[in-house]
Amino acid sequence: MSEIDYQYYASGYKHDIFRRGNYAYKTVKDAFEEENCRNHFETECFAMDIMRVKGFCVPRECEILSPSESFNHKWTLKESWIEGKQFRDGEMPIELEEKVFNMLIELAQSISGDYYGPISPRASKAYSWRAFLKTLHENHPLARVACPALSISSNRINELIDSLAPENPNPVFITMDTNLMNFFFDMNGNIVGIIDVEDPIFGDFLFLLADIRWCRDHWFHRDDWFLNWVQGFYETDEELVDLYEFLIAFREIEIRYKTDTSHYTIDQEFLLLEKKLLHL
């Protein structure tokens, strides 16, 4: 296959996306060479199979191509192209954002697991919920390099996990990527496609709410969304949500650092979360 036959379409944090005919082709960026492997894409195919069985609108076909089969000699995810409208950050109408929010809640309420942590065909089921949470900062040390002003110790984070996080919450499906660009809409405003379910986990429902809150820079850039859409409808624990959001940020800050997409305002949000935890 010749690369000239493939049309570059978009880039995310970890991937470049190309189109050829009725298929999308996703490859890992060079900054994440350790994830240029079959296992990386097996996770996404596995998660989409789970969602498809439950009736959610993921791509109909999903196939992993080896480097020898791929146009650019990398492991590649080939999946059905979804026809629909996407919205860039800050452009989606509020009523469609609410549909995305409700879809994420529906995913969590419809799909549950019997273990905690990454969803994949090779998942380790030995994790406790608290043990998984500890990996989120212990396994992402570059977050401290990206934000050298961070002062909270690993021991203190683990103490907070042990004191605030439930030991055995109901493990629900969390996509771990609430970027609005991952949702496609038809002319009537219905969601007709969900993509980029590449790092999903089974975890506490409040972790989903924290993930949405951390990713609000993709949403409508307003501070009142959590109050309007969550509080009053779902029982929340503010200290626990703050802790969850901080752990999610650890992972994303590292990704931003590796892809040279760090931003002052995002780093400041990370440090503000740390300040809340330091006062507990």
CA-wise closest residue to 24 among 94, 68, 88, 83: 83
Cα gap 269→205, rounded to integer Å: 22
Domain annotation covers residue 166? yes
Lowest mean pLDDT among 82-96, 135-149, 173-187, 222-236: 222-236
pLDDT digits 0-9 by tens, 145-174:
999 999 999 999 999 999 999 999 999 999
**Residue 224 and residue 157 share a domain:** yes
Domain annotation covers residue 36? yes
**Residue 186 and residue 118 share a domain:** yes
**Residue 140 and residue 30 share a domain:** no
193, β-bridge pairs = 184
For residue 22, the domain's CATH number is: 3.30.200
**Residue 13 and residue 115 share a domain:** no
**Residue 220 and residue 125 share a domain:** yes
pLDDT digits 0-9 by tens, 122-143:
887 778 999 999 999 999 999 9
| Alpha carbon 112 to its chain's center | 17
Angle at 52 between CA 73 and CA 214, to 5 degrees: 75
Contact by Cβ (8 Å): 107, 56:
yes
**Residue 256 and residue 117 share a domain:** yes
From 46, 80, 114, the end of a domain falls on 80
Quote the pLDDT of residue 125. 79
Quote the pLDDT of residue 67. 96
**Residue 198 and residue 124 share a domain:** yes
Q: How many domains does the chain have?
A: 2
Domain extent at residue 98: 94-278
29, β-bridge pairs = none
For residue 263, the domain's CATH number is: 3.90.1200.10
Is this structure's pTM higher than 0.75? yes
